[in-house]
Structures are given as C-alpha cells and as structure tokens.
Structure 1
Amino acid sequence: MSSNKSILERRTRQIKTMAKDLGFDFCGISKAEFLEEEAPRLESWLNQQMHGKMAYMANHFDKRLDPTKLVDGAKSVISLIYNYYPQRDFNESSGYKIAKYAFGKDYHYVIKDLLKVFFQRIQDDIGEVNGRVFVDSAPVLERVWAKKGGLGWIGKNGLLLNQKMGSFFFLAEIILDLELACDGPVADHCGTCTKCMDACPTDAIPMPYVVDGSRCISYFTIELKEEIPAAFRGSYKDWIFGCDICQDVCPWNRFSRPHREEKFKPTEELQQMKPHDWLEITNDIFNRLFKGSAVKRTKYEGLKRNIAFLNQKKSDDHKI
C-alpha cells in the first residue's frame, strides 16, 4: 500500500514539475468522478435560462458532469492556471474597451499547444497514458475541477479566485486514465465582500455565486448574434468585447502580476487605437488588428454593432 502511495506521489511531483517548466503558474489534481453536487446547480441554471442564446451550454449535460464520458477509464483531472494579466491596460486611452484576455493571440491555440507538449512529456516520462487536453473548448466544468484540485475557490462572480494571483488567468485541464495523488479544495475567502455584485452595471450577478449569463456584457458583446436589447443601452461602460468589471473591482486581484507570455502581448497598433480609429475601423483593419486573436470570434460585423450600440447612447445623451 505504501509502495503504491509513493509511486502516486512521485508521478504527481513529476507532473507538477512539468507544469511549472512549461510556464503554468499552478497545477492541481483531483479524482475523475461524477460531479454529483454540480448536477442540480447546472440543471437549475439552465432551467432559469441564464445561458441566454448560448444553446451549446445545454448540450452534453452528462459529459459536463462525468469525465469518464470524455475519456474512457479516466482516473485523474489535472487542472492548470496560466496567467494573462497584462503589463499595461491600454483600454483607458483607447476610448473603447476589450477584455484583457483578448489583448494578444487567442489563448485557445497558445495554451492548447502547451498542453499537447505537456501530454507528450507525460507519456515520455511516465508511460503510455490515455487522455485528452482541454482549454475552454469542450463540455468541461473547468472552474469546478480547478476548485476540487485546490487551485482556488469559485467567487461570487462565478470566477475561480486564487489567493496568490486573483483571477486574471486561463484554466486548462488534462483528463487522463492515470491515477495520481489528489489535492484537496481550499476555503472560500470572499467573506462578506460584494464588490463584484455591486459593480456589475447590468445586474448579471443577482445573488452571490450565481451569474446570469444572459445579462452579462461579455455575453452581449461576444455570444449574442442578434441585436443587443435596447434596455441595456447606457450600461456598457465602453466595453466592445468582453468585460472585466467584476475582476477589476475584486480585492484579490491586487495580487495580479504581469504575465510572461510573449504571445499575449498586444501589438503596438492595437495599443495606439483611439476613439476615432474604432469608429472608422474597416474590415481590412479589423483582420489585420486581430489576426489570430480571440476578438475574431465576434467578427467584424459584431464589433461594429457593439461600437454602434455604445454610440447610440452617447448620441441620445448629446440630444438631451
């Protein structure tokens, strides 16, 4: 028994060392098992239509809760944190704001490449292992797994919070059929703070730990493909792609430190954008400015819609 335990611990140390060598800030391990506590929460959230028009959120319900349906014989979930907090926030000078995670290259590709290298190293160093890598691209409840793996707690704004670096980071997972030594969860440190709830201009956090995705600025500026409801005009605070408000006000983000990933750095052209540049942006400029960027998800027409929505409010205020 002790021999088996020492093998698990040695494997786990190997994997955590690999994670650090590849630039991941934290690595946590949890047992791949059915998420029994999450099932009623997810069902309730969906039944209340808090996913809005994001129909894909209702798909693959069982897979979201059971990792063995994603990887046969899954035994462990490796959860990883990768920092994206920028050296400088150029949003204030640009007149229009995009979420910090989208300043540089699309994280899906950057982190997916790292995960592939990671998984190959596991096979090279430990042996033949069956598994899959994930970075916000499959029905995986990444924040729940990160919480179970001891990487932090899920805050009142629905994001994973880490005591040492806040929440400006990406989460990624490797689900595999390799048994490892598991980490335990950490305590919730939100306390009585409600800054994220109080600051949300669209009331997308109606109660602690519940986020109404259908009211979130990120949802309206990225996921929603139709017209933005007029009732939310004036609530946007100049956001045209995503939103960082609930993170910017979170006290734990005083511990955020600039990332070291060159691919996440914004181009000089993007940093120099001014209000008139956004208003006059063409399809060609959009494609050049956001080549390989997550902003491409909203497409040129979507970004123009978002800018126009903000300007309609400004135009109305001017008339008054």
Structure 2
Amino acid sequence: MDIKSKRTKLIKTEAKRLGFLSCGISKAEFLEEEAPRLEQWLNNNMHGEMGYMENHFDKRLDPTKLVEGSKSVISLLLNYFPEKTQIKNTFKVSKYAYGQDYHHVIKSKLRLLQEFISEEIGEVDGRAFVDSAPVLDKAWAAKSGLGWMGKHSNLLTQQVGSFYFIAELIVDLELEYDSPVTDHCGTCTACIDACPTEAIVEPYVVDGSKCISYFTIELKNEIPTSVQGQFDDWIFGCDVCQDVCPWNKFSKPHREPLFDPHPDLLSITKKDWEEITEDVFKRVFQKSAVKRTKFSGLKRNIEFLKK
C-alpha cells in the first residue's frame, strides 16, 4: 500500500469512528461543470434575497482560492434522521433542526479529525467547512462519490437516502481520489409532483426563492400573500421533497445524542404553537438551528399559517 492509500485509509477509518456516515475524497480543483449552472441560477434570481449567494463566485468554484495550496477536498456526511417525529396535525419543523445546531456538532467532529490528521500524518494545512462559507457542499460530495444530485437538488445515496448533513475539510495533502456514482432517480418525479410551492421548476433545478425553507428561514420581510395556503403547516424549513423520495425508505435513525430533540418539541400541538411565548421558545430551541429565525420570525411564520 503506497503512502497516499495508507493516509486515505487512515482518514476514512477515523471519520467512521467519529460517527460520520461516510467519507469521500476528491481533487481540489476548479468545478468546471458547476460554473454555468451556478451562473444561470443566479442570473435567474433563484436565490431571492439571499444576496450572499452572489458573493465569492470564484471561491465557490475553486477550493484553492479558499485554502491556498490545497490538494484535496474531504467530504463527510453525518446522519440526522430522527427516531421519532412530531405529532400529527401540528405545525412542522424540519427534521435537521430537531436537535442541537448542526454547525457546532459537526465543527467539533471536524476539529477532532483535523487533530488526528496532524498527529498521524504530520502538519497539514487545511480548513473545516460546515455550510458557512462559499463551498458547494453537494457538488463536492457528488464528485467524491458519496451520492448523486437528486431531482430535488439534494444529494442522494443508494440504500441511505438524503437525511444527512454535508461538511468538508479542504487540505494541502495529496490523497487517493474517489469517483462519482451514477444517477439513480430514473423516471421518478415524486419530489417535483409533491413540492407545495412548485419550487422544483425542472428536474435538478430548485428556485430557491419559491422554497418553503426560504420563506420560513431566509426571508426577513413579510411572506408574500401569493403563497398563502401553500405551506403544508411548515413553520421552519420543509422536508416534503425528502419525505416523498423513495430512497428515503432506507433512512435509519442517527446515533448522535446531540441531535435528539428537546423532549417537548415532538408533542407541541397547533394550539401550543399559536400561544408560544418567548420563554418557551428559548427553552425548547436554546441550542437548535431554529434560533436563526428568532422568536419574532417564528411568530411571523405561525401567524402566516393561521390566516
């Protein structure tokens, strides 16, 4: 086994030990095939008011501009599929926000992986990324063979589904690179047919400005009345396109205690949501990603659904 293979095996074994679902590696280079896609998406204003998507166009496509001298992009998946979900006929929160904020949970795991690499391989320069920098997570994960881009534009993995987070370590270390896998969506259009706001405008293209997640999390102004009655009771994020995907019948509950929901979350009724106080909000969502909307944002979303 040569040095590259040995190092690659070491990193993948440690990633597994740290609880990551899988680990794939690709060469840090310009994402040629993504450039026209991203440009067209931005030109069509599919990012809505997410102005930050227009920033750092080159960095999004070229990891060597993010981490000087980088050679490899290590992509990692972390399962968040919950064992139990909310009660029926209530206002809904996306499953990824049930537990503690994933940014913190994953960042600490990535730090441990970085420390391991330094101890076992030597001083390696690199940066960890969790959905908080101009990195095209899904494109890198697909390039690293961890899955294919589904028609709902989420990464999908055979026998696993899509209920996982994606993170990266971009490092100046040459490793063995994985190959992309083939697309297994076939003729299925379940996600396109089920999207309440018709945000999946064509296979593999999601108009972010029409997505329920955008309206309930990213949009800071009033939600337009044109989408009244289309939210299917979602008040933070939306899982519809994932819930209906046939591949998600393979989803297995995560084993990360920090992703377990606050005991009260699963039993909150519609009436409870409508009467939620700031104290309850702080108690239930103290460490959750739901804090991003703030209490006022969540109240806005609930009020919008009551109309």
TM-score, length-scaled by structure 2:
0.99
Asked if structure 1 preserves the Cα contact closer than 8 Å seen for 2:73 and 2:140, the reply is: yes
Report deviation, 1:91.
4.5
- 1:195 — aligned with what? 190
- For residue 241 of structure 1, what is the aligned residue in structure 2? 236
**Which of 4, 9, 14 in structure 1 is aligned with 2:5?**
9
1:75 equivalent in structure 2:
71
Let me know the Cα RMSD of the aligned residues.
Answer: 0.8
For residue 92 of structure 1, give the secondary structure of its aligned residue in structure 2. Answer: coil
- d(CA) in 2 for partners of 1:34, 1:247: 29
**Which whole-Å CA distance do the structure 2 matches of 1:147 and 1:254 have between them?**
21
Q: Within 5 Å, which residues of 2 pair with 1:37-186?
A: 37-92=33-88, 95-186=90-181
Please tell me whether residue 286 in structure 1 is matched to residue 281 in structure 2: yes
CA distance in 2, matches of 1:42, 1:179: 28
Task: Please give the alpha-carbon distance, in whole angstroms, between the structure 2 residues aligned to 1:68 and 1:266.
Answer: 38
CA distance in structure 2 between the partners assigned to 1:164 and 1:22 by the alignment: 21
1:36 correspondence with 2:25: no
The 8 Å contact of residues 87 and 267 in structure 2, kept in 1 or not, is answered as no
**Match of residue 316 from structure 1:** none
The superposition leaves residues 170-225 of structure 1 with CA deviations (integer Å, 9 ceiling, x where unpaired) of 00100000000000000000001000000001010010000000000000000000
The whole-number CA distance in structure 2 between the counterparts of 1:91 and 1:170 is 24
Aligned match of 1:307: 302
- The answer for the alignment partner of 1:256 in structure 2 is 251
Q: Answer yes or no: is the 8 Å Cα contact 2:26–2:72 preserved in 1.
A: yes
CA distance in 2, matches of 1:246, 1:25: 21
**TM-superposed deviation, 1:285:** 1.2
DSSP-derived class of the 1:268 partner: coil
Q: Determine the structure 2 residue equivalent to 1:318.
A: none
Aligned-partner SS, 2:294: helix
Whether contact under 8 Å (2:103, 2:130) holds in the other structure is: yes
Unaligned ranges ≥5, structure 2 = none
Question: Is the 8 Å Cα contact of residues 91 and 97 (structure 1) preserved in structure 2?
Answer: no
SS state of the match for residue 240, structure 1?
Answer: strand
Tell me, in whole angstroms, the C-alpha distance in 1 between the residues paired with 2:70 and 2:159. Answer: 30
Q: Which amino acid aligns with 1:297?
A: R
Larger Rg: 1
- Paired amino acid for 2:254: H
TM score, norm. by length of structure 1: 0.95
SS in 2 for 1:271: helix
Cα distance in 2, alignment partners of residues 112 and 131 from structure 1 = 13
Counterpart in the other structure of 1:212: 207
The letter for the 2-side match of 1:122 is I
Check conservation: 1:91, 1:98, Cα contact below 8 A.
Answer: no
Contact conserved, 1:84 with 1:259, CA < 8 A, in 2? yes
Give unmatched runs, 5+ long, in structure 1.
313-320
C-alpha contact (below 8 Å) 1:30/1:182 kept by paired residues: yes
Separation in 2 of the partners of 1:120 and 1:287? 34
| Mapped partners of 1:270, 1:208: distance in 2 | 34
**Aligned partners of 1:157 and 1:246 also within 8 Å:** yes
| Aligned partner (choices 216, 225, 236) of residue 221 of structure 1 | 216
- Are the equivalent residues in 1 in contact too, given 2:150–2:183 (CA < 8 A)? yes
